[in-house]
A and B are shown apart, each in its own frame.
Chain A
Amino acid sequence: MKIQNKDVWVFIEQRNGKPADVSFELLSKGRKLAENLNGNLKAVVIGSKIKQLAAETFKYGAVEALVIDSPELEHYRTMPYSRILTELAELHKPRIILFGATVIGRDLAPRVASHTKGGLTADCTDLQISNVKYLKNDYENLLLQIRPAFGGNIIATIITPEVEIQMATVREGVMRLDPLPVPVNGRITEIPYVSNEFDNLVKIIEQHRQENKVNLKGASIIVSGGYGIGSKSNFKLIQELAALLGGEVAGSRAAVDAGFLTADRQVGQTGVTVRPKLYIACGISGAIQHRAGMNESNKIIAINSDPDAPIFSIAHYGIVGDAMQIIPMFINVFKQKLR
């Protein structure tokens, strides 16, 4: 298969006209992928009154923003958004399209991939460009879509060698935000919106959105608990320690699934990726999915009763013991030192 196009597209997600952080993170990564491919980085912006937002993408290296601006497109709706993006993709055949692994991205990307018969990998933790030999064939400059898989025992590198458009979703915080010192002198290309009968099959009756009060990404200290904490009431100790240190409370997926804390505090591949000054992991075994979300923390303290828990391998300081006993000790000693 001869592939001509080398462009990298990023779908720019906006909510009430505000861009999602993950979109600019993806532009930052997409810029490097486009450099490797020798192609152009382009932003696709759909919404209402979004030209200014579109121009912001130039700060992250987009050389062109494809803008579809109409009052009817103010809020994300599956049907018009997926149709518009599908039509654009089929017309221009970008080599790569990246989406945030948000509710919107996970609603939109599969629909586009289905129509274009493209490959799509969810929740990637890394993206690279590389030549690949697969089943005795040589492929040039494929997108390596890297993600932990199956219980976290393995890291899988997924490729989509036989398709023109390679697609991936990435969680917020996984890629580093990397604005350019001087924005690109980019071009805004406006594409008119022509509605069709399918676009309005689903109507928005109401929408309620609160600004996310939890800011794990910005926290400099995070105290995190896992399934090993045992119960929601035991989690109060985690909260107490976090409050004392001026940090945020977080947890592993197992802890969220067990109902110990809310999903917006989940750290890991399918949660938030954090890079705090200090990350204290309590009763967390440290499956790869969790480590993917915190292993770039400046300092990691691991507290776990199992000396073989994988979390110790990435910790700077390891304490083998019951978190329920170690945390109160930590709290007391720290309080004494503050006096």
Chain B
Amino acid sequence: MDLHSIVMVKQVPDTANISGQVMKEDGTVNRAKLPAIFNHEDRAALELALRIKDEHGGKVTVVTMGPPRASDILRECLFMGADEAILISDRKFAGADTLATSYVLAEAIKKVGNYDFVFAGRQAIDGDTAQVGPQTAEKLNIPQITYAEEILEVTETSVKVRRKIDGGYEILESKLPVLITALKDSAFPRPFKAKRVMAYKNSKTLLELEKLAEGNSLLYTDQLKEEYQSKHLYIQTFTMDDLKLDEARCGVHGSPTKVHKIDSVVLAGGNQEMVEPNKAGISNLIDKLMEDHILG
């Protein structure tokens, strides 16, 4: 039945491995200093979209908004089976909060157009806000199903989804198009296909082709672009101008939330009583707790 899914993915800093040196003075994050990974829940979202394509036909387009190096995860999407990948990148997007991000993503999705599903992970590990999905759905004026645990049934005009609710689950049926945000366990992402890795490992965004041309006087960006397009190795790139965006709604300017101040975490320290890690120490501790009527 040819269903078109657009999947929003994000490259995120690996927050499990953060050092204190990555915060800039204005309280934003110096992402360049962090190892970057594919947000896990977004990968599950891509898997859900690929399964719909496997079962019902159609295509899967992935979009990401981020710096040029975010193209890494777009290639990974192509390795998994995505048909098309789009990088949305512009210096003017820097410092965007969830409102500004959802504005840009929604406009990019409108430009791609003609979709039945929009997928995303429930949240990204760098902010844990879970806001971009719903805010994008609102701007597209389509319904949303957040916290999806499983896709149960897909027809040409509707979808049945099991989603988590507080203390349980519910099964929802939505008309298409709909935006769905996926929990990590909703689908186990498929491995890369060797054939696709070979095919797409050299795919490049416009920004990467420009860099290539800069480094070699015999190469021209336009020529390269044509060549890569003909070989299906060109990753589309949308800038602010491509999307005809209102600059006042992008990046820092379009972000109502501002970091007023950053406090480093002050540890009080020195007030605790150290207990010897042996029987006598612990016996002593338990006596104290019993005296205070905390134990026993």
Please give the residue numbers on chain A whose beta carbons come within 8 Å of chain B beta carbons, in ascending order: 15, 20, 78-79, 82, 102-104, 106-107, 109-111, 113-115, 117-123, 132, 134, 144-145, 148, 150-163, 198, 201-212, 221, 245, 270, 277-278, 288, 298-299, 301-302, 310, 312-321, 325-326, 329-330, 332-334, 337-338
Contacts and interface: CB of A to CB of B under 8 A. Distances in A.
B194 interface: no
A150 B166 contact: no
B269 interface: yes
Please indicate which of the listed interface residues A114, A204, A320 has the most CB atoms of chain B within 10 Å of its own CB: A114
B124 to A, nearest CB: 12
B171 A205 contact: yes
A320 B272 CA distance: 12
23 contacts: A15-B166, A104-B166, A117-B256, A119-B256, A120-B129, A121-B257, A122-B130, A154-B27, A154-B264, A154-B265, A158-B260, A159-B257, A160-B256, A162-B256, A202-B172, A204-B170, A204-B172, A205-B160, A207-B168, A207-B171, A208-B170, A317-B275, A318-B274
Please indicate which of the listed interface residues B138, B147, B169 has the most CB atoms of chain A within 10 Å of its own CB: B138
B137 interface: yes
A329 B282 CA distance: 8
A337 B15 contact: no
Please indicate which of the listed interface residues A15, A117, A321, A333 has the most CB atoms of chain B within 10 Å of its own CB: A333
Contacts of B263: 154-155, 157
B127 to A, nearest CB: 8
Interface size range of chain B in the complex = 35 or more
B203 interface: no
Interface in B123-164: 126-135, 137-139, 141, 143-147, 160, 164
Contact of A152 (B166, B265, B290): B265
Contacts of B267: 310, 313-314
Interface of A is mostly: mixed
Please indicate which of the listed interface residues B126, B160, B172, B285 has the most CB atoms of chain A within 10 Å of its own CB: B172
A333 B23 contact: no
A150 B29 contact: yes
A171 B155 CA distance: 37
Contacts of B29: 150
Contacts of A121: 257
Contacts of B221: none
Contact of B99 (A114, A157, A202, A326): A114
B268 interface: yes
B265 A155 contact: yes
A154 B15 CA distance: 13
Nearest to B159: A202
Contacts of A117: 99, 256
B167 A144 contact: no
B168 A210 contact: yes
